[in-house]
Structures are given as structure tokens and as C-alpha cells.
Amino acid sequence: MSGFDTHWLDLREAADHSARDGNLRKRVIDHVAQAGEGALVVDLGAGTGSTLRALAPEALHWRWRLIDNDPQLLAEARNRHGDEARIDYIEAHLDDTSAKVFSDASLVTASALFDLVSESFLARLVAQLSQTEAGLYAALNYDGVCRWDGVHPMDEEVVAAFNSHQRRDKGFGTSLGPSAAPVLSSLLEDQGFQVTMAASPWRLDSKHADLQRQFISGMATAVMETELLGEEEINDWCAARLERLESSGCLVGHWDLFALR
């Protein structure tokens, strides 16, 4: 278990898909189409295959290599996609992946992943990519912004503490958290890639009440773990936010990034 269960990934998928920047998505699809029949896409931290579905229907004709260290999520991906596209399901820790994994790829993708990784992981990945012809499409990198329509006096402190939790080690060393996309962009540019970034925020409203509920509760748990704020004030903030679920929208900022040699 990676800590990301199917229920949570399913809950966020519709919001993720509508948040992805449409222009970058189209450029990514055009890039793979140019590579022609049999183009290979490698998806890092693939979970149940959300990126494949986000790029469907075109993506169903591509070859995919879905890599994740969680066997249950990969089993669910196989359950959903089986032979629908030509897919290899690879159980591996991303720290252990060698450049060989990308050598024949037209595109490497990742979504909701790079805010979990360290700068040294990204530096190694970019060095490996620069030995290949592959482009990189990294979607939904959290940017540190959470903003609700109706302000609560504790919002700012809670989000600051949450962002400090986002920088904790998630299995790759100190996480980049909200700085993931700008750091990745600069590493790629240093290696001669042309990089485009576009905002891809979640815009949550009463239709996303279940997602908001889990997001707010998860945020409160993370903030509690930081011990930066008192238990009572976190519980009060969480209760007030949950009470306003149906009436207050919420924006959670992300960056999408597409890079080509």
C-alpha cells in the first residue's frame, strides 16, 4: 500500500480531469500522434491509470508502460484497462528505475506525483530524459494555494502548516511540495528543454462535496501531525469548513508542465 487508495484516486479523478490545462493536453496528444503508430508512453506513479484516461480516446491506441510501487493500484489499473490499450504494468519503486525505462519512449508522464519527490530525484530524472528523445508531461503538481470563497480566520495558518507537511519525506527524501513545478521547469531548461507551464487548479463546489470533505479532513490530519497549530484550533477550523461545504467553493492550485527537447 502506498497510502493512495483507489477510493481517494477515484474521488479526485473528475476534478483532476477537468483541471488539466486543455491546450497542454492537446499539445501532448499531437506530440504522441507525430511519433506515429506504436508510440510508447511511460507513466510514472500511474496509480489506476488516470493519465491514460485523461488522454483518451487517443491514448487507447498508444503503447503504455504504467509504473507504480503499489501492487493493488496496478491490479486495479489492469482490471480497468486489461488489453484495451497495449499496456505493460510494472511494479517498481521510481528510485530504482534506470534510463532504460525511458529509452524507447516518445513521452514520459506523471500526474499528482512530483510534489511528493525531492529535487535530487527530479535532477536524476531530467538527466535520464535528456539522454532520450522523450517529452515530459507532468500534470497536477500542487502549487501551495488553497482558497475558499468564504474566508475563515484560520485559513492562512492552516494552509501554511499543510504546505510545510507537503515538504516532508514521502519516500524520496525531502519533498518539493509546492515548489515542484518551478524547480522541475528550471532543471529542464538547464538541460535544453523548452518548457511550458499552465495553471490547472481544482475548482471545487457543492458538486464535489465528498472530495472537499476528504480533502479538508486530510488537511486537518496533516496539520495536526506538524504540531504547528493547537489541536483545538485545528478541530474548530475543520468543523467550520465541513459545515460550509455545500455553500463555499474552494480553489486548490496546481501546475501542468510540458517539456520538449
Minimum separation from the CB atom of position 91 to ligand SAM (A):
8
Of 78 and 152, the one with the shorter C-beta distance to ligand SAM is 78
Does residue number 72 form part of the binding site for ligand SAM (CB under 6 A)? no
Q: Other CB atoms closer than 10 Å to residue 42's CB: what's the count?
A: 26
Exactly one of 41, 52, 94, 245 binds ligand SAM (CB under 6 A); which one?
94
Among 29, 66, 73, 108, binds ligand SAM (CB under 6 A): 73
Contacts of 41 (CB under 8 A, 6+ apart): 32, 59, 62, 63, 64, 65, 105, 106, 107, 108, 109
Q: Kindly give, in sequence order, each residue whose CB lies less than 8 Å from that of residue 260, ignoring residues fewer than 6 positions away.
A: 31, 135, 193, 194
**Site for ligand SAM contains 111 (CB under 6 A):** yes
- Choices 64-72, 79-87, 186-194, 246-254; region in contact with ligand SAM by CB under 6 A: 64-72
> Residues binding ligand SAM: what is the number (CB under 6 A)?
20
Residue 70 lies near ligand SAM (rule: CB under 6 A): yes
CB of 99 to ligand SAM, least distance (A): 16
Question: If binding is defined by CB under 6 A, does position 93 make contact with ligand SAM?
Answer: yes
Q: Does 177 bind ligand SAM (CB under 6 A)?
A: no
- Binder among 24, 39, 66, 112 for ligand SAM (CB under 6 A): 112
Closest CA to 229 of 159, 179, 177: 159
Q: Distance between CA atoms of 151 and 16, rounded to whole angstroms? A: 24
Separation between Cα atoms, residue 142 and residue 146, nearest integer Å? 10
> In the complex with ligand SAM, which residue's Cβ is closer, 140 or 223?
140
d(CA 86, CA 60): 8
> Between 116 and 181, whose beta carbon lies closer to ligand SAM?
116
Handedness of CA 97, 99, 100, 105 (dihedral sign): positive
Using alpha carbons, select from 89, 101, 91 the residue that is nearest to residue 49: 89
Question: Quick one: 72 or 132, whose CB is closer to ligand SAM?
Answer: 72
Cβ partners under 8 Å of residue 129, min gap 6: 102, 108, 136, 191, 193
Return the number of the residue (99 or 229) whose C-beta is nearest ligand SAM. Answer: 99
In angstroms, rounded to a whole number, what is the distance separating the alpha carbons of residues 33 and 247?
43
Q: Would you tell me which residues interact with ligand SAM (CB under 6 A)?
A: 2, 4, 9, 16, 45-47, 50-51, 68-70, 73, 93-94, 111-113, 116, 171
